[in-house]
């Protein structure tokens, strides 16, 4: 669900900007993702000078968004996690110990990490999110597949920074675990979208017609999904230090 990167053309005054060329877009757009990553999607044939002017015009907005999404050193680890996709709220406890997580009671999560090691805690939280997506969202995906007749072979959950999902010719769906933090109707749309690639490995008119047959309000839901990064917590999207 994302254009292939064209490569980094330049650095803005804030952070490196990744350029994505897309044949279907008609105007330049900029997005800032949780963690501070900046991408500019451009129509095919856009010159570097045009991109530079566009980014310069939007520099103040980019700066504000990067500051908003950047993971601060004093960021507080969550003591509760709300999942709009399922309507569940989890209580989170932390304790020292071997890194990892475990569910200690109904909707009660224990995160184990070394004292003062936030990065380790982030890793454990991300691992729990993937396990929770498998538990709560995979049966839903299977139900949408049965409902639509769009069959897949396997599904992998990933912690991606720009893609919500993809489908391979081998029959495997790759879905972003961050969809846990999207409303149910948006989650279902993502499932329909990626399952439709089992018939059309592109975004042709035939593809969108198939999507629409299973989700008539796909245009609005696609916009919501595009803006859905603002709902994703920083502890899930932040990348660990090398």
Asked if residue 215 and residue 130 are part of one domain, the reply reads no
- Listed in sequence order, the DSSP H helices in the chain are 48-57, 59-69, 118-136, 138-148, 184-196, 205-214, 218-226, 234-237
Please indicate, yes or no, if residue 75 is contained in any of the structural domains.
no
State the Cα angle at 211 between 233 and 224, rounded to 5°.
30
Domain range for 145 is 138-231
Domain boundary among 134, 154, 173: 134
Asked if residue 32 and residue 89 are part of one domain, the reply reads no
Asked if residue 123 and residue 98 are part of one domain, the reply reads yes
Asked if residue 168 and residue 150 are part of one domain, the reply reads yes
Domains in the chain, number: 3
Given a cut of 70, the residues of the chain with pLDDT beneath it are 1-15, 34-35, 68-75, 116, 238-242
Please indicate, yes or no, if residue 56 is contained in any of the structural domains.
yes
CA distances from 3 to 39, 54, 73, 74 (A): 11, 19, 32, 34
Asked if residue 148 and residue 106 are part of one domain, the reply reads no
Asked if residue 64 and residue 145 are part of one domain, the reply reads no
Please indicate, yes or no, if residue 204 is contained in any of the structural domains.
yes
pLDDT for the residue 56: 87
Asked if residue 130 and residue 148 are part of one domain, the reply reads no
Please indicate, yes or no, if residue 176 is contained in any of the structural domains.
yes
| SS3 label, residue 77 | coil
Distance CA 199, CA 62 (A): 38
Asked if residue 100 and residue 88 are part of one domain, the reply reads yes
What is the CA 106 to chain-centroid distance, rounded? Answer: 26
Asked if residue 221 and residue 156 are part of one domain, the reply reads yes
Asked if residue 47 and residue 114 are part of one domain, the reply reads no
Nearest to 163 by CA among 197, 211, 115, 120: 197
Q: What global pTM score does this model have?
A: 0.73
Asked if residue 181 and residue 157 are part of one domain, the reply reads yes
Domain boundary among 21, 48, 69: 69
Domain boundary among 69, 91, 118: 69
pLDDT for the residue 64: 78
pLDDT for the residue 110: 96
Q: Residue 91 is encoded by which pair of tokens? A: 């209580």
DSSP 114-142: -TT-HHHHHHHHHHHHHHHHHHHTHHHHH
Distance CA 90, CA 93 (A): 10
Please indicate, yes or no, if residue 74 is contained in any of the structural domains.
no
Please indicate, yes or no, if residue 24 is contained in any of the structural domains.
yes
Please indicate, yes or no, if residue 240 is contained in any of the structural domains.
no
Asked if residue 151 and residue 216 are part of one domain, the reply reads yes
Please indicate, yes or no, if residue 161 is contained in any of the structural domains.
yes
């Amino acid at each position: 669900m994302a254009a292939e990167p064209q490569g980094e053309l330049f650095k803005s005054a804030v952070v490196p900007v990744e350029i994505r060329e897309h044949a279907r877009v008609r105007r330049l757009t900029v997005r800032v993702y949780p963690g501070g990553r900046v991408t500019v999607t451009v129509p095919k044939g856009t010159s570097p000078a045009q991109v530079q002017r566009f980014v310069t015009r939007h520099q103040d907005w980019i700066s504000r968004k990067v500051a908003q999404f950047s993971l601060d050193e004093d960021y507080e680890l969550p003591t509760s996690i709300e999942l709009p996709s399922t309507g569940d709220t989890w209580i989170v406890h932390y304790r020292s110990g071997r890194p990892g997580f475990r569910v200690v009671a109904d909707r009660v999560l224990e995160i184990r990490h070394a004292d003062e090691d936030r990065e380790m805690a982030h890793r454990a939280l991300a691992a729990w999110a993937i396990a929770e997506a498998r538990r709560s969202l995979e049966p839903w995906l299977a139900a949408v597949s049965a409902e639509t007749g769009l069959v897949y072979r396997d599904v992998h959950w990933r912690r991606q920074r720009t893609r919500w999902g993809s489908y391979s010719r081998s029959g495997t769906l790759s879905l972003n675990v961050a969809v846990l933090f999207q409303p149910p109707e948006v989650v279902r749309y993502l499932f329909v979208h990626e399952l439709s690639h089992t018939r059309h490995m592109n975004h042709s008119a035939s593809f969108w017609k198939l999507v629409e047959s299973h989700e008539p309000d796909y245009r609005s839901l696609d916009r919501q999904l595009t803006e859905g990064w603002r709902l994703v917590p920083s502890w899930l999207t932040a990348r660990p230090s090398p």
